[in-house]
Chains A and B, each alone.
Chain A
Amino acid sequence: MDNVVLDIQKLSKTFGGVQAVNNFSLKIPEGSLQSIIGPNGAGKTTIFNLITGIYKPTEGTISFNSRRIDGMETFKITEMGITRTFQNIRLFSEFSVLDNVRTACHMRSDYSVFEGLIPTPRRNRQERAVTDYAMNLLKLVNLDDRANEYADNLPYGHQRRLEIARALALEPKLLLLDEPAAGMNPDETQKLIEFIAEIRTKFNLTILLIEHHMEVVMGLADYITVIDFGKIIATGTPVEVQSNPIVIEAYLGVGE
């Protein structure tokens, strides 16, 4: 097996009396695209919030490249190379498309707070480099012609792509996508699947994808973990999972 990028061991999270995640373990090898699927409220987003430090685990450990990250602050985990998108898109709506990406480039420049107050040639040089980098990235995701529009004014599918582009600006090693196809029609979904496959190779990414819709992960994922009520109920390749009777019963629903 290749290098394990993300190693989750016996992760649990309770909110009051509710067991949102229960004894969840997962290993993600470098370069793979894994998926967590499950019905609404199964605990998928909670797992993302645990990986990215928004929640602290009740029990269990999370390691990224063999370093423990559970309990770390979100921005530190991001600095280490894990970025995410959100189920309900979270763009900076008062920013232009370009500035959404430029903001995510803040680690690409290192001019000081003092140079923030009084521009120096160094600041101007770094800002120009950041703008060039952001524009190139927008070109890659076909949003460069909309660079100066407000992010809020973009169509839904474009907003999704912009949010992914913003995450890519951080040059992550591991990208977490939280239900990227939520609210999309079949046509947009198909385009999104192609887009994810494309950035995966272009950016050499390891991806963990949460989805509610089976058909999205079928064409993309190497390996699938199915959860229900915070617990793993099945694992396997897309074909294995699709034909697993437990999955069909608990998740797809019999006779629907």
Chain B
Amino acid sequence: MSPYLQGILILAGINVLAVLGLSLLTGFTGSFCFGQAGFLTIGAYVATLLTMELHVPFAVALLGGALFSALVSIPLGLPTLKLKGDYFAIATLGFAEATRLIVENLEKITGGSRGIPGIPTKTSLPIVLVLAVVASICIRFYVVSRHGRNCVAIREDETAAQAIGINTFRYKQISFFINAALAGLAGGLLSHYVGFIQPAMFGIQKSTELIVMVIFGGMHSVTGAILAAIILTALPEVLRAAAAWRLVAYGAVVVLIMVTRPQGLLGNWELSRESLMAIWNGLKSRFSKKAVGVDHG
């Protein structure tokens, strides 16, 4: 496999990890998070500093970044998860911007806006693949568990969810925690893949890019978020022939899909044994109908 293709796959895998939790938090629990870059920043910097200053093994550094990011979600969630709709989105946006500025100003530790160069590039395709697949399976199982049903109930009608005894705040906290952990993990993988990080990599456009993936793939589908992360990571590369126009083309594709399919690529379709069987049976009946038509013709 060419290093170029490998690079695209690694970035796609990292993006899958970054959107999985977002799919759970925003798509399934209904809390619109616009500050995903904040958790990526924390994961990336904590993992990097663990590697470069404390020389811990890569796995420990990744775990440290994910855990730290997840822990930050707890005090951040306490005041903000009670906010409704747009207010939560704005609060998370503020968190991401604040995180970026803090990193920029902690020059002694983070290198400020110049960033940290020379990070050992330990992220490899097999590592990213295994982590992305395992996390995808876990989230897919989670959304159909009793906990996942509670999350969807909150999204559908928070008052009714409370009325059937769901501790809505706690479930939002759990989704926020899982999201922050996965985003932190993605951040650590990213810094150890690129070999260099600086705050400018984690601006508002990064948060936008990730939430767009969730909406593009289908808010109510884990499979959709994964698919969108892969497609939208590869798309700018596919469009490279269009040179300067490629980002315009990228935007046009996103607009086109959202106009023609507001529910996202997959809506609420999920990959499962049952859904594959349903497609198979649909195809079979279509072909048998055609066969009947031929007989009569």
Q: Mark A residues whose CB is within 8 Å of B.
A: 52, 54, 73-75, 78-79, 83-84, 86, 90-95, 99, 102-107, 109, 111, 113, 115-119, 123, 126-127, 130, 166-167, 169-170
Q: What 9 A-B pairs have minimum CB-CB distances, sorted nearest first?
A: A78-B165, A116-B145, A74-B162, A90-B160, A117-B138, A92-B156, A116-B147, A104-B164, A103-B149
The answer to whether A102 touches B149 (Cβ under 8 A) is yes
A176 CB to closest chain B CB (Å) equals 9
Residue interface mask B131-160, A partner, CB < 8 A = 1: 000000011011001111110110011011
Residues in A with CB closer than 8 Å to B147 are 113, 116
- Interface assignment of B174: CB less than 8 Å from any CB of chain A: yes
A79 CB to closest chain B CB (Å) equals 5
Bound CA span A68–B168, Å: 22
Q: Which residue of B lies closest to A151 (CB)?
A: B156
Q: Which residue of A lies closest to B139 (CB)?
A: A117
Residues in B with CB closer than 8 Å to A86 are 159-160, 163
Residues in B with CB closer than 8 Å to A78 are 162-165
Q: Which residue of A lies closest to B170 (CB)?
A: A75
The answer to whether A94 touches B166 (Cβ under 8 A) is no
The answer to whether A113 touches B174 (Cβ under 8 A) is yes
The answer to whether A115 touches B164 (Cβ under 8 A) is no
The answer to whether B156 touches A93 (Cβ under 8 A) is yes
- Interface assignment of B220: CB less than 8 Å from any CB of chain A: yes
- Interface assignment of B124: CB less than 8 Å from any CB of chain A: no
A52, A104, A130, A170 interface centre (most CB from chain B within 10 Å): A104
- Interface assignment of B167: CB less than 8 Å from any CB of chain A: yes
The answer to whether B152 touches A94 (Cβ under 8 A) is yes
Bound CA span A167–B145, Å: 20
Residues in A with CB closer than 8 Å to B156 are 92-95
Residues in A with CB closer than 8 Å to B113 are none
Residues in B with CB closer than 8 Å to A102 are 146, 149
The answer to whether A123 touches B145 (Cβ under 8 A) is yes
- Interface assignment of B268: CB less than 8 Å from any CB of chain A: yes
Q: Which residue of A lies closest to B162 (CB)?
A: A74
Q: Mark B residues whose CB is within 8 Å of A.
A: 138-139, 141-142, 145-150, 152-153, 156-157, 159-160, 162-168, 174, 220, 268
Known A-B contacts A74-B162, A116-B145; the reply to A103 vs B167 at CB < 8 A is no
A–B complex contacts, Cβ < 8 Å, 11 sampled? A54-B159, A90-B160, A90-B163, A94-B220, A102-B149, A103-B150, A106-B146, A106-B149, A111-B145, A116-B148, A118-B138
Please tell me which one of the listed residues A75, A115, A119, A130 contacts residue B162 in the complex, with CB atoms under 8 A apart.
A75
The answer to whether B166 touches A106 (Cβ under 8 A) is yes
Residues in A with CB closer than 8 Å to B153 are 92, 95, 103
Please tell me which one of the listed residues A90, A91, A94, A119 contacts residue B141 in the complex, with CB atoms under 8 A apart.
A119
Q: Which residue of B lies closest to A104 (CB)?
A: B164
Residues in B with CB closer than 8 Å to A115 are 145
Additional A-B contact list (5), CB under 8 Å, known A106-B146, A113-B174, A123-B145: A78-B164, A78-B165, A86-B160, A92-B156, A106-B149
The answer to whether B168 touches A75 (Cβ under 8 A) is yes
Bound CA span A117–B151, Å: 14
The answer to whether A111 touches B165 (Cβ under 8 A) is no
B84 CB to closest chain A CB (Å) equals 14
Bound CA span A90–B268, Å: 21
The answer to whether A90 touches B165 (Cβ under 8 A) is no
Please tell me which one of the listed residues B141, B160, B167, B220 contacts residue A116 in the complex, with CB atoms under 8 A apart.
B141
The answer to whether B149 touches A118 (Cβ under 8 A) is no
Known A-B contacts A91-B160, A92-B157, A94-B268; the reply to A170 vs B165 at CB < 8 A is yes
Bound CA span A83–B147, Å: 20
Bound CA span A84–B162, Å: 11
Bound CA span A65–B145, Å: 33
Residues in B with CB closer than 8 Å to A83 are 163-165
B266 CB to closest chain A CB (Å) equals 14
Residues in A with CB closer than 8 Å to B157 are 90-92
Known A-B contacts A90-B157, A113-B147, A116-B146; the reply to A95 vs B152 at CB < 8 A is yes
Known A-B contacts A113-B147, A127-B146; the reply to A74 vs B163 at CB < 8 A is yes
Bound CA span A52–B164, Å: 11
Residues in A with CB closer than 8 Å to B160 are 86, 90-92
The answer to whether A111 touches B146 (Cβ under 8 A) is yes
Residues in B with CB closer than 8 Å to A92 are 152-153, 156-157, 160
B30 CB to closest chain A CB (Å) equals 11
Residues in B with CB closer than 8 Å to A79 are 165
Q: Which residue of A lies closest to B268 (CB)?
A: A94
Residues in B with CB closer than 8 Å to A116 are 141-142, 145-148
